[in-house]
Structure formats: C-alpha cells, structure tokens
Amino acid sequence: MIVMKFGGSSVADAACMRQVGALVRDRLDQAPLVVLSAMGKTTNALFDMARAAEVGDLPAALETLAIVRGAHRQAADSLCEGAMPEALDEALTEHFGELELRLRGVALLRELSPRSLDAIAAFGERLSTLVFAAWFGVERVDARQVLLTDATFGEAAPQAERIRLRAAEVIGPLLGAGRAVVTQGYIGATADGLTTTLGRGGSDYSAALFGAALGASEVQIWTDVEGVLTCDPRVVPEAQPIAELSFAEAAELAAFGAKVLHPATIQPAVEADIPVTVRHTLRPEGAFTTITGRVATGRPVTALATRGGLTVLTVSSTRMLHQPGFLAKLFEVFARHRVSVDLIATAEVSVSLTVEEDVPLEPLLADLRAFATVAVVRDRALVAVVGERLKATPGLAGKLFGALGDLNVEMISMGANEINLSLVVAASDAPRALGQLHRVLMAEPLLAGSGV
C-alpha cells in the first residue's frame, strides 16, 4: 500500500478535489491511504476567528466562520453537482454548529487555551476529509482514533508504537487493492481523546507516521512543485529538479532555507526505510524527487541554497593562543544570552561566528568585550553547497572558487557531516554567487524521476 498526502493547495476547491480524486483513482490498485490537509487557507482562517473570539470580537469571528462555511458548502455542492447527499448536509451542519459553539465559548470566557486552539484548528482537516470522502465514496477514518500523541497542544509528540497498534487495528482492515481510505493530516489526540495538532509541517508528519505504522511501500507528498530543485528558481531560473535526495541532504537544504520538506516531518518514513516522493498535483506525469535514507549517486553537488539576514562576529584575543578553555568561555557567553550560533570558523587568535540579524547584540557584545575585541559586520548571507560526495571529489574546491570569480568570500566552513560547504558573502552578492556556482557546478544534467 501507499500513502498519498495532499496539501491545502491541492484540495482548495472542488476543481482541485476532482484532480485529487483522479490521482487516487489511478492508484486504487495500490490500496492508498489518502491524507488530506485543510482546504486552501482554512487553517489560517480558523486561527483568525479563534483570536477574534479571544478578544471578544465575536461578530468578526462569526463573519470569518460564515466565509469558511460557504466555501465548504460550495465545494460540496459543486462536487455533488447540486445534489448533496442528506448525510453530508447534516454532517456539515453538525461540524459548523460545534465550531460555532466553541467560538462562542472562547468569546464568553475571553480565554483561548492551547487545548481550545487545537480543537478549533482541527476543524480544517475534519471538514476537507468529510467533503472529499462523501463525494468520492470511500471510507473516512478520524485520525484522532489512530494518531495518538502526548498533551503538548500545538506541537504534540506522536507515540509511534501506540500509533502502529491503532493503525493495524483501525485502518489495516479497511485497506485493500481497489479501495482507498481517507484520513486527516496535522491532527491527533491524547489517550483520553483530547484533540491535538502536530505543528509546522503537520500533515507531512502525519503521512510519514501513517506510512511507517502501516509499512507502506511509498509515501507520496503531492504539492505545487515538481519535486526539489537544485536551487531557488526565483534566483536561478535554470534550476533543475533533483531525481533523488538523501535525508541528510534534505536536512541540510532545509536548514539553509531551501524549499524542501522539513526533515523532521518525514523522519518516521526514512527510519522505516520507506521512500518519500515529492510530486506536483497538476503534473502527475512530470518530474519528482525521491527522498531516502541514503543515495547511491556519484554526483559531487546536489543543490545550492542561501539564507540572508546574518551578522558576522569576529572575536579576537591573544589570550586565545594555546589557552585551554577559551572557546568554552566564549560559548558560555552565547549560551547565557540565549543566542544561537550558526556558522563557525577558527584561526589561531580569533573566532568568526554568524548569528541572526535580529538577536539582541548589545548585551552580548558587552560581555564578549570584557575579554576580547569583537568586530561586527552586518547584512551578510550564507551560501550553502550541499552534496553527499563533496569531500570525496578531487578538484571540487578549485572549481567552486573559480566559479565565484571576483566575488569576495568572507568566511568558509565545511559542515561537520562533510556534505555541506558554507560560504558567507555580502547579502547583495548572494544571488550572483548562486547563479555563478550553479552554472559551473550543475553543468551535468540531474534528470529527475519520471511520473509513475
């Protein structure tokens, strides 16, 4: 069996849902478990109405509720061609009635607890799956019966073993060739039935958890891009889809700002050795990217990424020379001020570090300058070159720095896992650096997978 996860843009309206239905129908022989996000921007609207209710603006909350209700009823009417089944009509009425009661309760108490916010936010997925399953004529499983979590509302931690047992009990008997099962992404429940949500990337996370629990042969993430690209196409128009990406490469690219699935959300599938593919909903026969635990490819460079908004601090002291404990003293200051360090490069009597541009620098600098001099350079960007075989490719460094030409590189660092070479340049130079590196390092085509 496979897991097919569709994001909000893929189920935004009736036309989108029909496309999803066609994709699912084409794969019925693979016994798909279909994991849906909320329709379009529904989750944002739910957060908006909850916060309006919290400050006592119930009319605004109910106005947003009416818009969401109308969108779902319109989608259901269109899908059912004006003949909405009575059961679906009643279920929609019941769901929106429950949601309105929750909003009125929040407005009355002027209190929005994380527990209440999760219960409200979960309606997006509950509603999208209700409409889709009724139209498509398939079994709908409430994810809260299976995806058990702790009680950390807003970012609940799944309980993998309990999920595996519940998936086998609840979903397993419903799966089979020629049949699909629909469930929700993003939402779960505590052992005593309280609704929880999984936080950022929650629907991808749900898909990976379900896939691992059920022993899927593949987890498909259907979205609005043809897989992962070698660079941001807005900066480098000639960026190409990547056929295969390792989990480690995906983690590095995500950390450096690339539009990649957040690695934590697909980790359950990767740990279970289940490939995760990223596919375009509107171009199912087009290119896609497969993310696995390992990649047996000889390519030296997989992709490039950049992240701006950095400040470089260079801490210098002659006392650093051959002095045990200096770095410990240095990083204790950063820890005390709760400032995260990104990139580090060391010399005999100095250490250069990058931090986010919005950190409170003055208190940090005051403590650092008690035992060292500190130079501060702002408006810098990080350019990352990512690939499993960076270190093992002779001549790559020369090729890389030759590609940069007359651009000034202010800092260089090879990642601890040896698959990421990071360069710091002026923020204004980052687009040019990406373009020049891509033209030289990506000269060989990286043909992405073909549709299946």
CA quadruple 73, 78, 83, 86: dihedral, nearest 10: -30
- Claim to verify: residue 41 and residue 171 sit in the same structural domain: yes
- Claim to verify: residue 189 and residue 308 sit in the same structural domain: no
Q: Which pLDDT value is given to residue 182?
A: 98
Which of the given ranges, 90-104, 272-286, 386-400, 426-440, has the highest pLDDT on average?
90-104
pLDDT: is 389 or 409 the higher one? 409
Domain that holds residue 434: 303-441
Q: Is residue 189 part of a domain?
A: yes
Q: Is residue 380 part of a domain?
A: yes
Q: Which pLDDT value is given to residue 412?
A: 87
- Claim to verify: residue 41 and residue 151 sit in the same structural domain: yes
| Residue 449 confidence (pLDDT) above 80 | no
Q: Which of 184, 199, 224 is a domain's end point?
A: 224
pLDDT in tens, 391-430: 777 777 788 888 898 899 988 887 666 788 889 999 999 9
| Residue 350 confidence (pLDDT) above 50 | yes
Q: What percent of the chain has pLDDT above 90?
A: 65
Question: In CATH, what number is assigned to the domain containing residue 376?
Answer: 3.30.2130.10
- Claim to verify: residue 328 and residue 214 sit in the same structural domain: no
- Claim to verify: residue 71 and residue 186 sit in the same structural domain: yes
| Residue 312 confidence (pLDDT) above 50 | yes
| Residue 299 confidence (pLDDT) above 80 | no
- Claim to verify: residue 207 and residue 310 sit in the same structural domain: no
pLDDT (average), residues 180-203: 95
Q: Is residue 295 part of a domain?
A: no
Q: Is residue 271 part of a domain?
A: no
Question: In CATH, what number is assigned to the domain containing residue 137?
Answer: 3.40.1160.10
The total domain count for the chain is 2
- Claim to verify: residue 210 and residue 311 sit in the same structural domain: no
pLDDT in tens, 135-170: 999 999 999 999 999 999 999 999 999 999 999 999
Q: Is residue 260 part of a domain?
A: no
Q: Is residue 298 part of a domain?
A: no
Q: Is residue 41 part of a domain?
A: yes
Q: Which pLDDT value is given to residue 80?
A: 95
Q: What percent of the chain has pLDDT above 70?
A: 94
pLDDT in tens, 219-257: 999 988 888 888 988 899 988 888 888 888 888 887 776
Q: Which of 202, 224, 246 is a domain's end point?
A: 224
Residue 389 pLDDT class (50, 70, 90 cuts): confident
- Claim to verify: residue 64 and residue 211 sit in the same structural domain: yes
- Claim to verify: residue 52 and residue 177 sit in the same structural domain: yes
| Residue 35 confidence (pLDDT) above 80 | yes
Residue 448 pLDDT class (50, 70, 90 cuts): very low
Q: Is residue 246 part of a domain?
A: no
Q: Which pLDDT value is given to residue 452?
A: 42
